[in-house]
Amino acid sequence: MEKQTFTVQGMSCSHCAQTIQDLLLAIDGVENLHIQLDNKEVTIEFQDHLTIEDLNHQLKDTHYQLSKK
C-alpha cells in the first residue's frame, strides 16, 4: 500500500473536490483519500500496482490533473 500526496491542478472549489473524490475513489485499488482544498492537495492511499499515470487517466476527460509534490 502506498500513501502519497499530490498537487491537484484545476481544483478551485468544493464541487471540484467532490468530483475528483468520486472519480478517484472509483478506481480499483484506490482505498482512501483526503482532499485539502485550501492547499490544492490530495492524499491518496492506493495499491502498489497503481501509478500517477493511472490516476490521471481517470481524470482525462476533466481539466483536473495530479502532479507529484
Three-state secondary structure of 27-39: CCCEEEEEEECCC
Q: Is 13 in the site for Cu ion (CB under 5 A)?
A: yes
Regarding 15 and contact with Cu ion (CB under 5 A), the answer is yes
| Angstrom distances, CA of residue 38 to CA of 11, 13, 45, 49 | 10, 9, 20, 29
CB under 5 A: which stretch of 13-21, 26-34, 38-46, 49-57 binds Cu ion?
13-21
| Nearer residue to Cu ion within complex by CB, 49 or 63 | 63
Which residues are at the interface with Cu ion (CB under 5 A)?
12-13, 15-16
